[in-house]
Chains A and B, each alone.
Chain A
Amino acid sequence: MIEVKGLTKYYGRHMAIQDLTFDAQRGEILGFLGPNAAGKTTTLRILAGYMPPSQGTARIAGFDVLEQSLEVRKRIGYLPETVPLYPEMSVWEYLDYMGSLRRVEDLEERISEVLEEVQLEERAESYIGNLSKGLKQRVGLAQALLHEPEVLILDEPTIGLDPAQIIEVRHLIQKLGKDRTVLLSTHILSEAQQVCDRVLIINKGQLVAEDTPENLQAQISGADQLVVRASTETEALRDLISLIPEVTEVMPGEVEGEVFVMSVPGKDIRPEVARKIVEAGFDLLELRLAGLSLEDIFLQLTKENTHLKEGG
């Protein structure tokens, strides 16, 4: 559905993305993960037909984004990062305008459907300028879904939404991703993990890793890391857990009674930890795999770049 080869983009002399190659199948949700200025928006803009690449090719549904731009643009729904909308138009007017430009059939009916999908039915007559940031985001999303595109390109779709909304939008994306291709960018690792079938990590314009979220996390962490909390003092807990042979390091956590445990990879020590704590007569309050922050991953990726590429 999406085939990208050697994509490179210069802004003047500044190289924003370098030699990106990847693809995505129908029914796949592909996540684009990277820190600020990694080149996510640049890549998505090229794929959406907003600007041409400096080098390389990209094809969407078999059409070249440069040579057959119009065909590509008919088939994509795009939510730009800044969600640009006309403040002086009402939600309905705006969707009517975009829908006419996109030749949507049975437009009125379709607008009602989409408004329901993003839960904006009650604000159809509101002026966009009077909507909150999150509601504007939903108008942007509605606009991207209006013509039922085969490919959805979403640049940080959950930014600015409240937690309940974030969950809803993620569900919506997952639902949409069943029968179409979704390409979304984010710098939230947990979002990529939850929503995406596959994740591309890019940094400074280069692809540094590509895999399923589970594999990435497993490869990256190298050692298993746990967060453990029990009804005792940190010191006591620390001594107790240190007795387990696979444990390499135990560090104090953020609150009293919490520790951060590193162990040798490959063996799940959670049952052992639980048993130790209960046998010692304490209550086990929390035991979970520690999520890594994106920053941690990047630190590791820059160190283990080659290893990861083989792995992916």
Chain B
Amino acid sequence: MRNVLTIARKELRLYFVSPVAYAIATTVYLILGAIFFINVYFGLRGETIPPDGRIVINPLITILLFATPAITMRLLTDEQRMGTIELILTAPVRDWELVVGKWLGSFGFMFLLLAVTWVYPLIIHQMTEPGIDQGVLVSAYTGLIFMTSAMLAIGVFISTLFRSSVAAFFTTLAVFLGLWIVEGFGSGSGVGSEILRNLSFVSHYYDTLFLGMFDIGDLFYYLSLTALALFLGTQVIEARRWR
């Protein structure tokens, strides 16, 4: 467990000197800021500002679809391409500790990134009367963080499969889009549709947490996805040794 923290700490530190991470953070804040400004501006000219955090969270999720693959794309691809993984795997570090440590580092970074976006709902809260529903906001943000955790874990898993970060980025993005639209195929009735709906990233968030319905089952879905992806990542690293 200490190794996990050591690895996570190192990855987190590297994000703060990485131009990619700064580019992502800048993009996130710029887009969010622009959207927020437009909303508030038009809101002030007559239309009412929706009294919740939705005007922030909606665009945020779209941005996350692209930002998380960019955050995870180099985590294990670089180690494999540069061969640095050889020194980690010959140190007394278990394979899972490496994978989980990488994920935790990226999670730490995204957590900080998301935490800063709280300012926007807070501003709305100040500007509106009687303010926004804090319960909905907390529920939506909690869900967002769990969803991010699952997305990062999938990104880490896919980064174990490649040596090229570009390949890892696009594969991760494709998987996310797949998880996004899978619900559309499950619109009918029957077991198959049911399963598809349950697989979907969207239904576990927008139908419940996003609306303030705090459901442990949904959190469990994202947690299971996180665990599964990290488990698969570990299997790939282990298989690499046996090649």
Residues of chain A at the chain B interface (Cβ within 8 Å): 11, 45, 48-52, 70, 73-74, 76, 78, 80, 82, 84-86, 88-89, 93, 97-98, 100-103, 143
Contact = CB atoms under 8 A, between A and B. Distances in A.
Interface residues of B, number: 25
A182 B239 CA distance: 29
A84 B90 contact: no
A270 to B, nearest CB: 48
A101 B84 contact: no
Given A84-B82, A97-B6, A50 B17 contact: no
A204 to B, nearest CB: 21
Contact of A74 (B17, B87, B92, B243): B92
Given A52-B242, A84-B84, A85-B84, A101 B17 contact: no
Given A70-B94, A101-B6, A50 B89 contact: yes
Per DSSP, are chain B's interface residues mostly helix, strand or loop, or mixed?
helix
Contacts of A78: 87, 90
B241 interface: yes
B90 A101 contact: no
Nearest to B81: A84
Contacts of A70: 92, 94
Contacts of A45: 86
The 4 closest A-B pairs by CB, nearest first: A84-B83, A84-B84, A100-B6, A48-B90
Contacts of B243: 11, 51
B88 interface: yes
A88 B17 contact: yes
B82 A49 contact: no
B83 A80 contact: yes
Contacts of B48: none
B23 interface: no
A11 B94 CA distance: 24
B14 interface: yes
B92 A102 contact: yes
B90 A76 contact: yes
B104 to A, nearest CB: 15
Nearest to A102: B91
24 contacts: A48-B90, A49-B89, A50-B86, A50-B89, A50-B241, A51-B241, A52-B242, A73-B90, A73-B92, A76-B90, A80-B86, A84-B85, A84-B86, A86-B82, A86-B84, A88-B17, A88-B18, A89-B14, A97-B10, A100-B2, A101-B88, A101-B92, A103-B92, A143-B87
